[in-house]
């Protein structure tokens, strides 16, 4: 008798738990539906174009309020466009995020300086040039505005290209700097494919359409064409560095990297120091004793936007495993 009662009690508990779970699920589903309905439609509250005039939440980072306003922006990791996907949503595009922060600072007439904190091996050619150009535009029309770059561990290739838009460069004593150069890499599997009996079938509109086909021998004419492109991009990079740093020769602009001390000795940076030193330099350039330093943070969206952009557990970024076309890079690849 007692066994039957215990069994009945067990199943009653299971049923009650199931009912409670289903009730909770339906309530949450109803809440989402209500928010979706009430929050739907076009956002007409904004009076400015969101991409032309990006808006951020400003977090007081350092200094004294009501003093000269400056913004600290972090350039961290490879300079590449594209969102890194996860199970639920994706991270923001790194390049676009930096461009929007610089644009927001440019639109704010009270911002007189940018402290760009770099720890990057560089990356794609065009994004590096976009960030460089945006920093130059920040200073256009207002000679009082200044940009100081602080290099932590690494400021190489495209990241160093970006720093050429600055008025002063400080690097930590243990930082690696330089790598002024362009690289393009591809993989040729002609020998391997011959051994295992794999044949490529390519239908192209012209003899130059399938450059660097990995299943064919490298065509000397194609190699010469691509080398010319690399040389042209390197010439642009080197010209910008020579002008910005006042170098008398391009001898050291061959892709080599330097320690911070050697970089200072050869004119690639202005000072070996720490973050506090870069802040002191920015104050000096702005002719002020105190600054009001802020950093930009993304404003939270609506309930539905936050719900569907929520990040789940980290999973392998499988699209990175797929073969991609060779690209031109301002990147240090030791």
Residue the block writes with tokens 């932590």 = 152
| Residue 73 exposed, middle or buried by CB count within 10 Å (0-12, 13-18, 19+) | buried
CATH code (residue 298): 3.90.226.10
CA distance 97 to 81: 10
Beta strands 328-331 and 257-259, pairing class: unpaired
| pLDDT, tens digit (0-9, with 9 covering 90-100), for 269-280 | 999 999 999 999
pLDDT per residue as tens digits for the range 139-168: 998 999 999 999 999 999 999 999 999 999
In a domain, 110, yes or no: yes
The domain of 318 spans 57-180+251-331
103 vs 73: CA distance, rounded Å: 12
3-state secondary structure of 309: coil
C-beta neighbour count of 242 within 10 angstroms: 16
- Average pLDDT (244-254) is 96
Q: Is 18 inside any structural domain?
A: no
- Asked if residue 163 belongs to a domain, the reply is yes
Q: Could you give the 3-state DSSP secondary structure of residue 124?
A: strand
Query: Residue 101 pLDDT > 80, yes or no?
Result: yes
Q: What is the pLDDT of residues 23-54, one digit of tens each?
A: 666 666 655 555 454 444 445 456 888 888 88
- 327 vs 238, more confident: 238
- In the chain, how many domains are there? 1
Cα(331)–Cα(159) distance, rounded to whole angstroms?
A: 8
Neighbouring-strand partners of residue 155: 120, 177
- Is the pLDDT at 208 greater than 90? The verdict is no
Q: Determine, yes or no, domain membership for 37.
A: no
Separation of alpha carbons 311 and 301, rounded Å: 14
In whole angstroms, what is the distance from residue 199 CA to residue 212 CA? 15
The distance in angstroms from the start CA to the end CA of the chain is 76
The C-alpha atoms of residue 225 and residue 168 are separated, in whole angstroms, by 37
The DSSP line for 76-88 is: ES-B--SPPB-SS
> Does residue 219 sit within a domain?
no
**pLDDT band at 326, cuts 50/70/90?**
confident
**Residue 86: inside a domain:** yes
Q: Is 310 domain-assigned?
A: yes
Tokens standing for 333?
Answer: 């690849």
Q: Is 90 contained in some domain?
A: yes
């Amino acid at each position: 008798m007692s066994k039957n009662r215990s069994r009945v009690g067990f199943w009653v508990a299971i049923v009650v738990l199931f009912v409670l779970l289903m009730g909770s699920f339906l309530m949450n589903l109803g809440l989402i539906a209500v928010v979706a309905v009430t929050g739907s439609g076009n956002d007409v509250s904004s009076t400015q174009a969101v991409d032309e005039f990006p808006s951020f939440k400003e977090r007081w980072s350092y200094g004294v309020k009501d003093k000269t306003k400056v913004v600290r922006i972090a350039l961290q990791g490879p300079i590449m466009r594209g969102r890194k996907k996860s199970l639920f949503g994706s991270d923001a595009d790194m390049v676009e995020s930096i461009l929007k922060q610089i644009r927001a600072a440019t639109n704010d007439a009270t911002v007189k300086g940018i402290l760009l904190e770099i720890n990057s091996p560089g990356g794609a050619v065009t994004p590096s040039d976009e960030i460089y150009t945006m920093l130059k535009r920040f200073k256009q029309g207002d000679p009082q505005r200044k940009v100081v770059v602080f290099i932590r561990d690494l400021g190489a290739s495209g990241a160093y290209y970006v720093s050429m838009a600055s008025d002063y460069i400080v690097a930590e004593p243990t930082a690696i700097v330089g790598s002024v150069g362009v690289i393009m890499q591809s993989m040729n599997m002609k020998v391997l494919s011959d051994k295992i009996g794999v044949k490529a079938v390519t239908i192209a509109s012209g003899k130059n359409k399938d450059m660097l086909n990995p299943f064919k021998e490298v065509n000397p004419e194609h190699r010469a064409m691509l080398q010319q492109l690399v040389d042209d991009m390197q010439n642009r990079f080197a010209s910008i560095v020579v002008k910005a740093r006042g170098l008398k020769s391009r001898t050291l602009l061959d892709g080599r990297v330097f320690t911070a001390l050697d970089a200072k000795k050869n004119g690639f940076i202005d000072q070996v120091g720490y973050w506090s030193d870069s802040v002191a330099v920015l104050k000096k350039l702005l002719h002020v004793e105190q600054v009001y330093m802020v950093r930009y943070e993304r404003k939270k969206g609506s309930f539905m936007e936050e719900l569907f952009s929520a990040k789940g557990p980290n999973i392998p970024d499988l699209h990175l495993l797929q073969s991609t076309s060779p690209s031109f890079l301002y990147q240090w690849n030791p």
